[in-house]
Amino acid sequence: MNQGVTVQLLVLATFIATFYISANIYRKTGEFSARKFEGLAKMEEAIGRATEMGKPVHWSYGMGAFDAQYLAAFVLLEYAAGLCAKYDTRLIVSIALPEVVPMTEEVVRKAYIEQGKVESMQPEDVRFWGGSHNPAMIGTISREQVAGNFMIGSLFHESILSIEAAARYNAIQVMGTSNTHQLPFIAAGCDAIFIGAEMFAAAAQLDATPVRVGSVRAPDLITSVFVVLMVVGALMVTMGNTTLKTLIMR
Amino acid sequence: MTFIKTKLPVVVTFVGAFIIIAQYYFDIPAWKTLAAELLRWNVILAAFALALGIGGIVKLHWGRIARRAPTALYSAATLITLAFFLAIGLAQTTRGESYRWLYDYIYLPVAATSYATTFFFITSAAYRAFRIKNSYAAVLMVSAVLMMLQIGIFAAFLPIAPRIAAWVWNIPTSAGMRAVVIGGALSLVGNSFRVIVGLERGHLGGGE
Amino acid sequence: MALIRKLSNIDVRILYLIMVIAAIYPLLRPIGLPLPISDRARDAYAAIEALQPGDLVFFGIDYSPTQEAEMWPQTLAVGHHLARRGVRIVMLNMIEGAFRYEERMRDIILAEYPEYKYGENIIALPFTAGREAAFQSVVADFKGLYTYDLAGNPVGSLPLWNEIRGASDFKMYVELADAPDWWLRPMSQVPGLQLWNGTVASGASTMAPLYQSGQMIGFIIGMVGAAEYEFLVGKPGMAAAAMDTQSMGHVLIILFVVLGNIGYQAIKADESRAKAKRAARGDV
């Protein structure tokens, strides 16, 4: 075994075991509870408001590379698209990455099919922009005067551009990302946000399957263990004992 | 066909990920060599993914031109610029004088300027969007103001300002970020694990 | 009260004009505001100052042109410091669009430091796609990753390349990046490699825990960090000149936040009073 990775391997093994155990428990009991996410309520409020005003809502994943955040974003997009289909509200999606386009079309179509409104889906409202995503997104928000603006995924500086553009029209804004450098901007400018792991938990809450529940519960349990270790470790180091620190570095 | 579209990618993902993860933990020379080779292949794939982006752009804008959409003229300008840059780059490589001129005097200033529009957006966002709607927002605003006090004009009149800003950065900000980073990282591990073992197939067009 | 309410309705074009004037004026007539050098910048300087002549150092330039304003001054200041220490420099680039900054820095070092000869104590390697996977490749098999250098020369023809066995020969990785930690995860696997980072202001809070935990030995942030480093290196430049502008910008941003919120709170207070009156009258 390589130097300094024993505890890491142990954590990984524990994580995998916890994942499967949690998934199996959910499969047997069907019980999964997470706190209410304000973001989901605000998304519904935004879509309702858009319906009343006759304005569309806008969705974007940001410009970041394809990673696990997109997987959570797909579930939340399906939720938003389902609400838009239900209330006959127009949903405009702006996309920066080409590989995400077919998945997005699939997700939106699925949501409309489930509402029995596939004929009201407008394929041209799923728009791929590539490198010109930011100005195109601002242009879309400004021309359409959207009533709701959602950005969930791997966000970079386009989040502040989107916040400002949509704020001109008093749009209700919900954003979520694991990219910590954008959290201050979206926290300051949005009506509700998903911070990091909350995106995944919200996705599991919307569409609870054993796999999703397992991948939400396992990090929660491991985090709890980490918190205990951090508190104990900090106390020990403060008292001059580095045993735990040395043990973890093995 | 189902095997090629859904099962084979899952198998390839699992085998590749297993080799790369295993060589991190275990010192087996053959695995290390194989992992290094796979990482080099990934570098090549990533380069081709850039080409995929070009294909996407061409498809989008060509469609607009064919449909004679209202923005067809801008789409034409985009494609002509793309073709021009591509032709110069292929003919001269990135070391060619013309390519460098285009890059230094057109692309770099345009890219830097497009980001500089954030200057105006931040201005109007500070005025319009950053509202103190609750106690959390108030704490956020106070912290932001304290952080902005650490340079120049404030440091001249308030020598204690940089020390306060350093404390805000070192203690509460770092503590909060540490929590977010750990939580986010573990969630990413969970979701990546789902993709590796084939439990998540959203990226393949399926569900789970 | 009407005046206060008007504060939440100022035409943003007026605000833009004020900001533009505040940004341009100090560039034309420098105010000369003081710039305190932070302990973090001094520690970052000391980390590179501790390098010995001949030490192998990776110099990663990984920012897109959009970040040029903050990162190019950092690149210059840090590049000059590395050259002054006489270390052997291997330049890397993992972001598309950054290769020109790598070329420029290489040319500046070769022009201003006669002791530097290309191929003998400085090499510039080409863009490698894959982001974190590219860094993993550097760690796993650095020599196998590159065939040509940035100028198109076969790497085997470069004496410095033939002296290197792998990533573990290097003393320090100096990374100037606009993105957070995808370079640090792989590079922290190399035993004994010190990690030094310069990043944009918005990435600072993400990297802060990594610096505090000791995973990074040096850390400078944004244009302020670049200005501080320029003073420490003794070459005040673009970043130092822009500090007055940044100060004025910060003052105005704070002012606009305050103005906007005064107006917003006034409107909220009015609406609450109106609602209370309606409730008292029994109106629905």
**What local confidence, expressed as pLDDT, does residue A192 receive?**
93
Looking at the partner chain, which of B56, B128, B183 has a beta carbon nearest the beta carbon of A98? B56
Q: pLDDT at residue A123 above 70?
A: yes
The Cβ of residue A52 has, within 10 Å, a number of other Cβ atoms equal to: 11
Name chain C contacts of A181, Cβ cutoff 8 Å.
180, 202-203, 205-206
Give the phi and the psi of residue A87 in degrees, each rounded to 5: -100, 5
Number of domains in chain B: 2
> What mean pLDDT comes out for the span A92-116?
90
Shortest alpha-carbon distance between residue C227 and chain A (Å): 22
Residue of A nearest to C257 (CA): A188
Q: Are both C190 and C253 inside the same structural domain?
A: no
Looking at the partner chain, which of C39, C204, C253 has a beta carbon nearest the beta carbon of B122? C253
**Look-up: residue for tokens 């859904």?**
B6
SS3 content of chain A, % helix, strand, coil (to 5): 65, 10, 25
Q: Are both C172 and C67 inside the same structural domain?
A: yes
Question: Tokens in use for B47?
Answer: 């380069």
The Cβ of residue C17 has, within 10 Å, a number of other Cβ atoms equal to: 11
**B126 or C116, higher pLDDT:** C116
With CB atoms and an 8 Å threshold, state whether B43 touches C137: yes
- For residues C284 and C256, what is the distance between their CA atoms, to the nearest angstrom? 37
User: What number of H helices and E strands is found in chain B?
Assistant: 11, 0
Q: What is the pLDDT of residues B48-59, one digit of tens each?
A: 877 777 887 788
Touching A (3+ Cβ pairs <8 A), the chains are B, C
Looking at the partner chain, which of B55, B182, B191 has a beta carbon nearest the beta carbon of A215? B191
Contacts of C77 (CB under 8 A, 6+ apart): C226, C229, C230, C232, C233, C235, C237, C239
With CB atoms and an 8 Å threshold, state whether B121 touches A184: no
Q: Which residue type occupies A157? A: H
Q: Are both C228 and C272 inside the same structural domain?
A: no
Among the candidates B20, B37, B69, a domain finishes at: B69
Sheet holding A148-152, edge to edge: A126-128, A91-95, A57-60, A148-152, A172-177, A192-195
Task: Check which CATH number belongs to the domain holding C223 and give it.
Answer: 3.40.50
Determine contact, residues B204/A106, Cβ cutoff 8 Å. Answer: no
Contacts of A42 (CB under 8 A, 6+ apart): A172, A174, A191, A192
Q: pLDDT at residue B116 above 90?
A: no
Determine contact, residues A176/A195, Cβ cutoff 8 Å. Answer: yes
Q: Are both C189 and C259 inside the same structural domain?
A: no
With CB atoms and an 8 Å threshold, state whether B129 touches A209: no
DSSP H or E run through B116: helix B108-116
- B140 in helix, strand or coil? helix
C162 to chain B, any CB pair closer than 8 A? The answer is no
The Cβ of residue A20 has, within 10 Å, a number of other Cβ atoms equal to: 14
How far is the CA of A81 from the CAs of A104, A159, A218, C266, in angstroms?
10, 21, 29, 37
How far is the CA of B145 from the CAs of B141, B155, B168, C158, C235, in angstroms?
6, 13, 11, 51, 30
Kindly provide the b/e burial profile for residues C106-131, where b requires at least 16 CB atoms within 10 angstroms of the residue's own CB: beebeeebeebebbebbbbbbbbbbb
Looking at the partner chain, which of C131, C191, C205 has a beta carbon nearest the beta carbon of A180? C205
Shortest alpha-carbon distance between residue A180 and chain C (Å): 6
What is the CATH code of the structural domain delimited by A38-206?
3.40.50.720
With CB atoms and an 8 Å threshold, state whether B193 touches A196: no
Q: pLDDT at residue B207 above 70?
A: no
Contacts of A46 (CB under 8 A, 6+ apart): A57, A147, A148, A149, A150, A171, A172, A173, A174, A191
B30 to chain C, any CB pair closer than 8 A? The answer is no
Q: Are both C21 and C46 inside the same structural domain?
A: no
Domain that holds residue B150: 139-197
Q: What is the pLDDT of residues A21-52, one digit of tens each?
A: 998 998 888 888 778 899 999 999 999 999 99
Determine contact, residues A81/A91, Cβ cutoff 8 Å. Answer: yes
Tell me which residue of A238, A240, A232 sits closest to A248, measured CA to CA: A232
- For residues C83 and C41, what is the distance between their CA atoms, to the nearest angstrom? 18
With CB atoms and an 8 Å threshold, state whether C206 touches A65: no
Torsion of CA A20, A21, A24, A28, to 10 degrees: -170
**What local confidence, expressed as pLDDT, does residue C49 receive?**
97
Looking at the partner chain, which of C144, C212, C250 has a beta carbon nearest the beta carbon of B151? C250
* Sign of the alpha-carbon torsion through A29, A227, B176, B185: negative
- For residues B183 and C36, what is the distance between their CA atoms, to the nearest angstrom? 35
**What local confidence, expressed as pLDDT, does residue B150 receive?**
72
Contacts of A159 (CB under 8 A, 6+ apart): A62, A151, A175, A177, A182, A185, A186
Residues 104 to 163 of B: which have CB under 8 A from any C CB?
A: 104, 107-108, 111-112, 114-116, 119-120, 122-124, 126-128, 130-132, 141, 144-145, 148-156, 162
**C221 or B134, higher pLDDT:** C221
**What local confidence, expressed as pLDDT, does residue A183 receive?**
87
Determine contact, residues C98/C132, Cβ cutoff 8 Å. Answer: no
**Look-up: residue for tokens 């980490």?**
A226
Q: pLDDT at residue A78 above 80?
A: yes
Q: Are both C99 and C155 inside the same structural domain?
A: yes
- For residues C177 and A164, what is the distance between their CA atoms, to the nearest angstrom? 26
With CB atoms and an 8 Å threshold, state whether B200 touches A71: yes
Residue of C nearest to B147 (CA): C250
Question: Tokens in use for A207?
Answer: 């569409």
**What local confidence, expressed as pLDDT, does residue A182 receive?**
87
Domain that holds residue C91: 39-236
> What mean pLDDT comes out for the span B97-106?
92
| DSSP string computed for chain C | -HHHHHGGG--HHHHHHHHHHHHHHHHHS------PPPHHHHHHHHHHHTPPTT-EEEEEEE--GGGHHHHHHHHHHHHHHHHHHT-EEEEEE-STT-HHHHHHHHHHHHHH-TT--BTTTEEEEEE-SSTHHHHHHHHHHHHHH-SB-TTS-BGGG-HHHHH---GGG-SEEEEEESS-TTTHHHHTTSTT-EEEEEE-GGGHHHHHHHHHTTS-SEEEEHHHHHHHHHHHHT---HHHHHHHHHHHHHHHHHHHHHHHHHHHHHHHHHHHHHHHHHHHHT--
Determine contact, residues A194/A79, Cβ cutoff 8 Å. Answer: no
A184 to chain C, any CB pair closer than 8 A? The answer is yes
Q: Are both C103 and C187 inside the same structural domain?
A: yes
**A57 or C283, higher pLDDT:** A57
**B118 or A140, higher pLDDT:** A140
**A99 or C18, higher pLDDT:** C18
With CB atoms and an 8 Å threshold, state whether C136 touches B20: yes
> What mean pLDDT comes out for the span A13-23?
91
Tell me which residue of B141, B164, B139, B138 sits closest to B151, measured CA to CA: B164
- A30 in helix, strand or coil? coil
- For residues C254 and C220, what is the distance between their CA atoms, to the nearest angstrom? 24
Question: Tokens in use for B199?
Answer: 């439990």
Residue of A nearest to C190 (CA): A3
Looking at the partner chain, which of C23, C66, C250 has a beta carbon nearest the beta carbon of B148? C250
pTM score, two decimals?
0.85
- A168 in helix, strand or coil? coil
Q: Are both C55 and C123 inside the same structural domain?
A: yes
C30 to chain B, any CB pair closer than 8 A? The answer is no
Lowest mean pLDDT among B48-62, B137-151, B174-188, B192-206: B192-206
Q: Which residue type occupies A199? A: M
- For residues A73 and A95, what is the distance between their CA atoms, to the nearest angstrom? 12
With CB atoms and an 8 Å threshold, state whether C206 touches A180: yes
Q: Does B146 map to a domain?
A: yes
Q: What is the pLDDT of residues A181-211, one digit of tens each?
A: 888 888 888 999 998 888 888 988 888 888 8
Determine contact, residues C236/C230, Cβ cutoff 8 Å. Answer: yes
Tell me which residue of B120, B183, B182, B172 sits closest to B144, measured CA to CA: B172
For chain C, 284 residues long, give each residue's pLDDT as a single digit of tens: 677 777 777 888 899 999 999 989 988 888 878 788 888 999 999 999 999 999 999 999 999 888 898 999 999 999 999 999 999 999 999 988 899 999 999 999 999 999 999 999 999 999 998 888 889 999 988 999 999 999 999 999 999 999 999 999 999 999 999 766 788 889 988 989 999 999 998 888 888 888 888 889 999 999 999 999 999 999 999 898 888 888 888 888 888 888 888 888 888 888 888 888 888 887 65
Q: What is the pLDDT of residues B44-85, one digit of tens each?
A: 888 887 777 788 778 878 988 998 988 899 889 999 999 999
With CB atoms and an 8 Å threshold, state whether C133 touches B46: yes
Determine contact, residues C271/C1, Cβ cutoff 8 Å. Answer: no
SS3 content of chain B, % helix, strand, coil (to 5): 85, 0, 15
